[in-house]
Chains A and B, each alone.
Chain A
Amino acid sequence: MTPPASVTATPSPKTPGTPGGPDAPTGPGRSRPVRRQIPYALFLLPGGLLLLVVIIVPFLMNLALSFTEWEGVGEPRWVGADNYRELLGDAEFWASFRHNIAVTLAMAVIPTFLGLVLAAGLFDFIGKRFGPRTAAFLRACIYLPQVLPIAVAGIVWSWILAPDSGALNELLGLAGLESLQQDWLGDPGKALFSVMGVMVWVQVGFPLVIFMAGLQRVDPALYEAAEIDGASWWLRFRHITVPQIRPEIFVSLLWCTIASLKAFAFIYVLTKGGPGGATSVPSYYSFENFFDNTRVGYGAAVATVLALIIIALTVVFLRRQSSGEED
């Protein structure tokens, strides 16, 4: 055991009747005068002011734009709720939400679960048996796709997934599995799955790195005690790893879900929503309206609805997270 350092060595002599009260008077033995503490809310001031200028005001301006018709130049023309009425009846927009379920699976659910297992394996198995350097090397390899700009990732994967002489089909050919060769991105039935595969490849390093950092916080004594009791790797995973990094698991799930709802870049570089709209998602639709069709007012309405949906989802999710914390 490492010798406990000063802060934790002395169990804090709690003043009775003031369980962690921040402004509680100091104990009678202390001669220190009672000081007024800075309110915690003050720490939010710099971040809050910047948020107001960079996000809240532009959000309200975007909201105003969504009630206009505008080509990006000239004067916006007020049209009331026309954009929203159009959006309600826009089958293309609502259909694109269905694809987003698959995208959320590929960008949030699968990477978080895979990342959890991989992080626990690296931390509690590879790191202990082959040394932390091996674990760090493997983590770096798995994280690397996160570093790649999405535009570059798109080019490389279109080389790999190309129907003729693409790496994947060549590889299948070498293995004698010609029957499995596909037009990975061009076949409407397969394109969404191919895009999902690329997304998992890109995304999995993100939860992995967060989880491994979270595991640093866990008291090694917990693992040692479990090992002495003969707990298997799986038992340690379920009863130590997962509960200890619960906050990180929530963060990863919510963050990747938000990212998946805004995932137009992947779609843009891999399939441009095709073939035949088979991979279109709402965020791609919003981007198309803003910049390809320069229907800024309508694009603003799409973005507003999308943002409201994401915010509602965030609130529900955070509620669940904080009720879980109070257990």
Chain B
Amino acid sequence: MATVSATARRPGPGGPGRYAVLLAYLVLAAVMLLPFLIVLGNAVKTPAEYSQNGPLALPEGIYLDGLRDFWERVDYGDKLLNSLLISGSVAVLAVVLSVLNAYALGIGRVKGRLWVLVLFLMANTLPQEALVYPLYFLAKQTGLYDTRISVIIVFTVVQTAFGTYLLSSVLSGFPREILEAARIDGANRWQVLWRVVVPVSRPTLSVLLVFFFIWTWNEFLIPLVFLVSNDNQTVSVALGVLQGQRLMDATMTSASAVLGVLPTVAFFLIFQRTLTRGVTVGAIK
């Protein structure tokens, strides 16, 4: 078995076979990226160039007026701050709530956990359009209407549904010996949660953080209804409203799409390193 163990780190088809697999992945990646490139291409065309050559031709030059017009028309800077504030707060708060819920359900295995989980999942199973009228009424009653905090609260609860489910599924397979060892070392449940469970679950928590941020960023319906004043609006709402008014030509639509997507892409690229920098159970510190 000497030869096998010598190549144990690189098994399976070697040589040209492995490049075939890589090539397949690269083709797939190109298919996934193509629509983005089309949008980017159109965002830097002049309207005249667009109507002459169509949406799929390569841009002849870099024309940034579409981007600038959109930026000024919607006060993009302010909208960006609102979106960052709302999505960032929701992402962090929803991760914390998910951890607390999942600790009770997945590790504590509280009585009737299946039904508790079903209740938490209702935040997602209920169609959002069904929530809009009642939430509007409640927000008016509590004086939270047209505040960013109202949207933060609503989406924290909505996003927690997924976090609670994913984390409690993952944690119900958590190695009992580790919990036992920590308990014998004198840690109480609160300490076990933050010093043992959370560090081990870090890759999954990063995934949740990224998902929550991006999902909240792209939410449209509830922010549209709740954030009526211009000062509180988010990027997605500004984008959707302008599109709905049909005041934009195709190049400006593309420009708005680029500005709408750029922050989430940047966020994903920054945070995607944390997705793999995992702590495996065998290497807890």
Chain A contacts to B: CB under 8 angstroms: 2, 4-8, 10-14, 20, 22, 26-27, 30, 32, 35, 37-38, 40-44, 46-47, 50-51, 53-59, 61-62, 65, 72, 118, 121-122, 125-126, 128-130, 132, 134-153, 155-157, 159-160, 165, 167, 170, 201, 205, 209-210, 212-214, 216-221, 224, 227-228, 230, 232-233, 247-248, 250-251, 254-255, 258, 262, 283, 286-287, 290-291, 296, 299-300, 303-304, 306-307, 310-311, 314-315, 318-319, 321-322, 325
> In whole angstroms, what is the CA distance A136 to B278 when docked?
13
The 9 closest A-B pairs by CB, nearest first: A40-B108, A216-B278, A58-B134, A303-B130, A141-B29, A61-B134, A247-B169, A43-B104, A54-B157
Partner of B135, one of A58, A152, A255: A58
Contact between B25 and A121 (Cβ–Cβ < 8 Å)?
yes
Contacting residues, chain B, for A62 (C-beta < 8 A): 126, 130-131, 133-134
Known A139-B272, A141-B32, A233-B12; contact A57-B138, beta-carbon cutoff 8 A? yes
Decide yes or no whether B123 CB sits under 8 A from chain A: yes
Q: Is the interface of A mostly helix, strand, loop or mixed?
A: helix
Contact between A27 and B184, CB atoms less than 8 A apart: yes
Contact count A vs B, C-beta below 8 Å: 336
Asked if A165 meets B126 with Cβ closer than 8 Å, knowing A126-B25, A210-B207, A217-B281, the reply is no
Q: Is B285 an interface residue (CB 8 A)?
A: yes
Whether the Cβ atoms of B218 and A149 lie closer than 8 Å is yes
- Using a CB–CB distance below 8 Å, which chain B residues touch chain A? 1, 4-5, 8-12, 18, 21-22, 25-26, 28-29, 31-36, 38-39, 54-56, 97-98, 100-101, 103-105, 107-110, 114, 116-135, 137-138, 153-154, 156-158, 160, 162, 164-166, 169-170, 172-173, 176-182, 184, 186, 188-190, 193, 196, 203-204, 206-207, 210-211, 214, 218, 220, 236, 239-240, 243, 253, 257, 260-261, 264-265, 268-269, 272-273, 275-276, 278-285
Nearest A residue to B163 via CB reads: A47
